[in-house]
Amino acid sequence: MSRVFKDKDNQVTQKYKKGYHDGIDLVGYKYALDYITAHSDGVVVSVRSNYKTTDKTGSSYGNYVKIKHSNYYTLYAHMKYGSVTVKVGDTVKKGQTIGYMGSTGRSTGAHLHFEVRNAGDVKIDPTPYIDADFTSDTSTTNEIEYRVHIKGGNWLSWVKKADNTNEGYAGIYGKSIDGIQVKNRVYQAHTIGGSWLSKVTKVDTTSSGYAGIWNKSIDGIKIENAKYRVHIKGGSWLDWVSKVDNTSNGYAGLYGKEIDGVQIKSL
């Protein structure tokens, strides 16, 4: 029996592939259709239920439900029009019906596109969880590790806390920062005299595995699902920021001012 279907066993029709297919596609055994059920207890945080068509060229989930669990999120996409039974704010129980399989949005046939996201709302491989409880795997808990790259220098050590000790921030006072990495979070940097760079969702040694451009000082950062602040070179710590948007409170930094310190902690 599948964890996310009411009666059927599931079979995988498209696997997870990071950056290409950030979820897993499931149908009932032998392509049977079924009601979709909540993977675990949680609260519904996002719903779309007014989508009537298939859109083979778009990127839409169609009708979908997103549920927040203690350390994870799950998302169920392409539901049949008229089948969604929950709304934002509803508490759901494991196994509760939330809709029916369909082909709304970017879909070529009825199936369930199932996503799992960590506490930072970053998509992770759902494969281990399709028919299993979530674990408290430390790589996907709320702990945030971060580090910065010194302009003309190197990556500094990873920082795991945010306090007044030398180990409680990333940076060296007086040295400009031109790169940042944040584990388990979606993050973004603004370059001095430049613009906001692409959102980064991972941490590795490729050019899409950090935020920044070598030798361009950063003067602003955005980190989703976190509290964060920056220290202005030659100045002081700015106020903590706890959201990401286009207002002056939606990022940490002052345009035109180099930063030399970063602190990040859980919300």
User: Which one among 4, 5, 25, 126 touches Zn ion, defined by CB under 5 A?
Assistant: 25
Contact between 113 and Zn ion per CB under 5 A: yes
Cβ closest to Zn ion, residue 21 vs residue 175? 21
- Minimum Å gap between C-beta 52 and Zn ion is 19
Gap between the Cα atoms of 32 and 2, Å rounded = 12
Between CA 78 and CA 48 the distance in angstroms is: 10
Nearer residue to Zn ion within complex by CB, 109 or 174: 109
Of 107 and 225, which has the nearer Cβ to Zn ion?
Answer: 107
Which region, judged by CB under 5 A, interacts with Zn ion, from 16-24, 98-106, 121-129, 155-163? 16-24
Count of residues engaged in binding Zn ion, rule: CB under 5 A? 3
Q: Which is nearer to Zn ion, 25 or 34 (CB)?
A: 25
Is residue 115 at the binding interface for Zn ion, with CB under 5 A as the rule? Answer: no
Q: From the CB of 130, what's the least distance to Zn ion, in Å?
A: 13
Q: Would you say 25 or 178 has its CB closer to Zn ion?
A: 25
- Taking the C-alpha atoms of residue 254 and residue 248, their distance in angstroms, rounded to an integer, is 9
Dihedral class, residue 215 (left if φ above 0, else alpha if ψ from -120 to 50, else beta): left
Specify the stretch interacting with Zn ion by CB under 5 A; choose among 37-45, 113-121, 134-142, 152-160.
Answer: 113-121
Least distance to Zn ion, CB of residue 257, Å: 43
Query: Least distance in Å: CB of 94 to Zn ion?
Result: 22
Say how many Å lie between the first and final Cα of the chain, rounded: 36
Stretch that binds Zn ion, among 5-13, 108-116, 131-139, 245-253 (CB under 5 A): 108-116
- For residues 64 and 45, the answer to whether their CB atoms sit within 8 Å is no
Nearer to Zn ion, 27 or 84 (CB): 27
**String marking each residue 59-98 x if it binds Zn ion according to CB under 5 A:** ----------------------------------------
**Dist. CA 105–CA 23, nearest whole Å:** 15
User: Cβ of residue 25: shortest distance to Zn ion, in angstroms?
Assistant: 4
Compare residues 115 and 219 and give the one whose CB is closer to Zn ion. 115
The b-or-e profile of 143-181 (16+ CB within 10 A means b, else e) is: ebbbbbbbbeeeebeebeebeeeeeebbbeeebbbbbbb
Minimal CB distance residue for Zn ion: 113
Give the Cβ contact number of residue 125 at 10 Å. 15
Using the Cα atoms of residue 93, residue 5, residue 138 and residue 224 in order, give the sign of their dihedral: negative
Contact residues toward Zn ion (CB under 5 A) are 23, 25, 113
